[in-house]
Amino acid sequence: MILASPAFYFSWHLIHRESIVNCVLRSVTGTLRIVPFMGMFYGSFALLLPFVTGALMQHRGQTFEEAKGNSMMGSLLCGFVFMEALIELRGCGVAYSQLRPMHFIIFMPALVGRLAAGVLTQYNKIGEEFVSVVPEEWAAAEAPAWQRALARVAKTACIDAQFFTTLVGTSVFQHVLNAVTFIALTKGKAGGAREIGSYLAKGLGGTYLSGLLQLLNTVGMRFAFVGVWNWCSSQPLIYPAMDAAIQEMQAAELGTGAGKGGSGGVDAA
């Protein structure tokens, strides 16, 4: 996240008509501003999620796949989402003095939606086998050349259904987040629901065409980020050391079980 932040803040200011120099400077200052928050955010997640996941599996009988998604969502909704909101607002340059309760009332649901479409979607697919969005028969030797070309592109870029879920979902919610952030940044506490609605409908130019173009700019802002993120989440997990340790533990458990079974048979006899 720290590595991706400069690109995010650069593109955020770029689609809001800042100069290249300002975009570069604010990408750096925004990233530096969120470092303490990110340390607390991901450090707390790393410590908390394994315990929550284990508790759901042990006491609620959930599978690991169910528990890991539920633990992520539960942890986000129990306070972490507020920290994420501060990270995004502060990174874009919004000061504490510019914020008002109305901003958070609109910002928080949109942020939860973006996290659900992005973080949870990508988190839950990690370790699963990649399934291309292109039909399998398109990769066959007898398929037309254009179908084989699309199949190769989709496989190379790891374009699956989750890519489009993440791109469209996060773009729509990001558009709302951009509206709140921009109004808070430019108008401070004087900016309310009316100004935010105007941004959503009419963008920066005050027309519906401008609003549509602003939304498309947001889609473009998310496209490269989501593409890289989705590609990384689609890669197989290969941990030789961990796999060897797990195999040793399983072998030890099987050996112990065999020993118990043998002694039980002798006692019974």
**Token pair of 201, please?**
């409908």
Question: Are 234 and 136 found together in one domain?
Answer: yes
Domain boundary pick from 40, 62, 93: 93
Separation between Cα atoms, residue 164 and residue 160, nearest integer Å? 7
Domain extent at residue 88: 1-93
Question: Are 112 and 71 found together in one domain?
Answer: no
Centre a 10 Å sphere on the Cβ of residue 81 and count the other Cβ atoms it contains.
Answer: 17
Question: Are 176 and 50 found together in one domain?
Answer: no
Question: Are 7 and 127 found together in one domain?
Answer: no
pLDDT recorded at residue 16: 94
**Token pair of 138, please?**
């398109």
pLDDT recorded at residue 1: 56
pLDDT recorded at residue 197: 95
Question: Are 121 and 233 found together in one domain?
Answer: yes
pLDDT recorded at residue 27: 93
Question: Are 59 and 117 found together in one domain?
Answer: no
pLDDT recorded at residue 264: 44
Question: Are 118 and 69 found together in one domain?
Answer: no
Question: Are 111 and 74 found together in one domain?
Answer: no
Count of structural domains within the chain? 2
Separation between Cα atoms, residue 147 and residue 138, nearest integer Å? 5
Question: Are 150 and 48 found together in one domain?
Answer: no
Residues (pLDDT < 50) of the chain are 262-269
Question: Are 34 and 78 found together in one domain?
Answer: yes
Q: What single-letter amino acid sits at 236?
A: P
**Token pair of 92, please?**
């874009």
pLDDT recorded at residue 19: 94
